[in-house]
Structure 1
Amino acid sequence: MLDAAGGRLDVTRGFLWTGVAALVFVILFPLRVSTRPGLLIARGLLVEHSVRTDCLVSVRWSDGVSRRMVLRDTEGSRVEIDPTVLVHNPAMWRRLDTDTRTSIERGTLLCGATALRQLAERIDRETAHTVFKVSGLQ
């Protein structure tokens, strides 16, 4: 709009600005995470990744600018999700927790108890904070 107001907008600049807008949209497009018994699915703009949550091999934190939880299953599938998705969706967390317990019972989950415990503590803390806030005991 600034280029158009300044009289500098031409076809080339229009294509460049459209390309920049499309690139920003693709980068900032959030993953859609869903669960069903034994499966966690993360859908992006162009890709879909799924992992068998009842056959997990590892659950770990990835280091970087934003913390991500990386889940791997026995079939070699891998999914990275933002843990705040689970914090804000208790039903999804319960489904994942139930399935990870199944993985532990089967003996497939070799690495990840610490990451799951940290996430459970965070979810419990957030839930308690919400209950106190709603009840006026904050």
Structure 2
Amino acid sequence: MRQKDRRSLAGDRHWRGSARLAASCALLFCAFSLLVDWDAGTLTLLRALLWLTLSVTAFAVLLPPRVTAGPGWLAVRTPWRSHLVRTDALVAVRQYGGVSAHLVLCDTHGRRLELDPRVLAANPLIWHELDIGVHRSVDRGTLLQGADVMEKLGHRIDDETVRAVLKASGLS
């Protein structure tokens, strides 16, 4: 990838901290498990491999998806797979609530991506790239379902941003 292409990417600015937290939790789990097993006098090579495997599994589960965006696209990478949609060719946008709210984006190429809306609120550059792509999809007439979802999400993100600015300036 060229240097200019790397600069035009918008990435989750909190991902590295979350990845470090996931690694720390997995390492602590491994260390404490091995220490307790060793102290009990039951540590064997097989049990050590079991604790290491469980620690790697805990890391994979705790590792958050990595979200990046660029002109006309949005990508989410997990330890298992990578999903990419064309934001300038979206067909549908749906938001599902509940305990773990998530946004589902579908493009004209049949690709589908799930995303936590909090990532968009925490990363204005990613939100900007997605918003531009959604407007292009609306202008082209491909976005058939979900323009209202994106409008509501945009208002919510703008409200949170205003509150954060007011709080940081001491006006609220």
TM over 0.5: yes
Following superposition, the deviation at residue 106 of structure 1 comes to: 0.8
The equivalent residue for 1:51 is: 85
Identity %: 45
Q: Which residue of 1 aligns with 2:99?
A: 65
Which of 40, 47, 58 is the aligned partner of 1:6? 40
- How many Å separate the matches in 2 of 1:65 and 1:9? 39
Shift of 1:93: 0.8
TM-score by length of 1: 0.94
CA-CA distance at 1:118 after TM superposition = 2.2
Letter in 1 for 2:128: R
The TM-score, its normalising length taken from structure 2, stands at: 0.76
**Aligned residue for 2:15?**
none
Aligned residue for 1:65, secondary structure, equals coil
Structure 1 equivalent of residue 108 of structure 2: 74
Report the Cα distance in structure 2 between the residues aligned to 1:27 and 1:65, rounded to whole angstroms: 17
Unpaired stretches in structure 2, ≥5 consecutive residues: 1-34
The amino acid across from 2:117 in the alignment is P
1:30 alignment counterpart:
64
Q: What are the ranges of 5 or more consecutive residues in structure 1 without an aligned counterpart?
A: none
3-state SS of paired residue (2:79): coil
Deviant stretches of 4+, over 4 Å = none
Cα distance change, pair 47–2 in 1 and its aligned pair in 2 (3 A): same
**Distance in 2 separating the partners of 1:12 and 1:64:** 41
Shift of 1:64: 4.8
Aligned Cα root-mean-square deviation (Å) = 1.2
Higher helix content, 1 or 2:
2
Aligned residues: 138
**Equivalent of 2:155, from 121, 129, 135?**
121
CA drift at 1:114: 2.5
Look up the equivalent residue of 1:87 and give its one-letter code: A
